Amino acid sequence: MPGSRTNFFGGVRDDFKDMNANKKLYGKDLSEYENMDLDELLDQLTPEEVDILTRDVDPDDDLMPPSQRTSYRCEKDPTGPLNRKRLIEHIQQQALNEPDRPEMVPYQQGVVRGKKWIPPPPPLAEQRLEEEIALDLGDEYESALGEANENELVDLAAILGFHSMMNQDQYHASLLGKRIESDVGWAGITRATRPKPMAPEPPNMTDPEQSIERLRQDDPDLQMLNLNNIKNMSDEQIERLCDAAASNTRLENLYMSNTGLSDRHGEHLVALIEKNNTIKEISIESNFISPAMIARLVKALLKNKTVEAFRAANQRSQVLGNKIEMEITKYVEDNPTILQMGLHFEFNDARARVSAQLQKNRDRLRLRRIGRACRNSTAGFVRRQLPV
């Protein structure tokens, strides 16, 4: 391995110096090896011994190339590029041509080979569960249950929460207080029913140009802007919208879910979050924003610390990655204002830390609200006690 001897033996030399610093190893004194020349010892090794020594490497060492982190060495020259189709055909042909191994004992029908497997008896706990449980419900309850028909027992099972004992029709009928005309009983089968037609969701009729103009004029009535599901906005419109919202002092809720946002719009969103100090809720779900841009948007929330709810789930890249999740977690832990974070975390560490920080922020807000109420009640009590 050209070029690897210096790196590997340099690390060995450093480790040997560290061992000498301890002076003892397994109870043996190492002071006599302090002045030993390792280069002289390495020159005395044969090429085979050097090759065996260099195979003992750390596979997680990032300072060495990947080809030198493994002990596997193939001396055979490559025969050519990999052809997966020819390789599979060769394996199949070899499997067909290879003869079957002869059996030591020929097969005979009806002859049992070896010992017959007998299942072990169930444990005592399961045997006790299988036994009938005798309950004394009283004469009144026993007579009522004994004379009840199956439909009445179905209603009783729904009241007690035994949903697994009922089919779907029985369950919904018991919830709505309806009676099932046919006596289906416990063995009733739910037949397929035609689904009820649902009216399609009406389109969003918000005019982006009118919204931009109202944002520029700082309209006091425009506190919530809903642009969800509007996919025909151009890049120039989104840029003007973000610029107008950045200088607005009335807007509190901005919804831009499923509007085709991507990283080219992310810079304008970052500027919007950093400049606007009145907005409290932002939703940009179901778009095409990358995990790195989401981390930048979460970092921008630290500028004014006024946003209480931020939702950016269901993007093109469903998985954020460990590095991005840890970065977002750090930004959330530094934000004392955020109360809701609409993101999906794959790793339990990030999910637990973000949840703990959000709960801490809610508790801080609740204590502040309780303290304000106590101060107001105390001030009112003092005013009532003062003479007029």
The number of C-alpha atoms within 13 Å of 257 and in the hemisphere containing its C-beta is 15
What are 72-105's pLDDT values in tens digits? 767 788 788 888 999 999 999 999 998 888 777 7
DSSP letter at 76?
S
| Contact between residue 320 and residue 347 where contact means Cβ atoms under 8 Å apart | no
| C-alpha distance from residue 292 to each of 74, 247, 266, 327, 348 (Å) | 40, 26, 10, 10, 20
DSSP letter at 83?
-
| Contact between residue 2 and residue 59 where contact means Cβ atoms under 8 Å apart | no
The amino acid that residue 126 corresponds to is E
pLDDT of residue 143: 73
pLDDT of residue 385: 60
Dihedral of CA 232/236/241/246: which sign?
positive
| CB neighbour list of residue 260: distance below 8 Å, 6 or more residues apart | 231, 233, 287, 288
Beta bridge partners of 28: 25
The amino acid that residue 270 corresponds to is V
- Under the phi-then-psi rule, with left for phi > 0, alpha for psi from -120 to 50, and beta for the rest, what region is 314? left
pLDDT of residue 383: 63
pLDDT of residue 292: 93
DSSP letter at 262?
B
Question: CA 103 to CA 196: how far, in whole Å?
Answer: 64
List the structure tokens of 151. 């439909």
All structural domains of the chain with their residue ranges: 4-67, 149-180, 208-372
pLDDT of residue 132: 53
The amino acid that residue 371 corresponds to is G
What are 261-298's pLDDT values in tens digits? 999 999 999 999 999 999 999 999 999 999 999 999 99
What are 328-357's pLDDT values in tens digits? 999 999 999 999 999 999 999 999 999 999
pLDDT of residue 233: 92
The number of C-alpha atoms within 13 Å of 27 and in the hemisphere containing its C-beta is 0
pLDDT of residue 5: 46
- Tell me which CATH code domain 208-372 carries: 3.80.10.10
Question: CA 170 to CA 154: how far, in whole Å?
Answer: 7
pLDDT of residue 114: 76
- Quote the radius of gyration of the chain (alpha carbons, Å): 37
Q: Quick check: pTM over 0.75?
A: no
Question: CA 374 to CA 370: how far, in whole Å?
Answer: 6
Q: Which residues does the chain have with pLDDT short of 70?
A: 1-27, 73, 123-138, 140-141, 144, 151, 163-168, 179-193, 378-388
Question: CA 168 to CA 185: how far, in whole Å?
Answer: 13
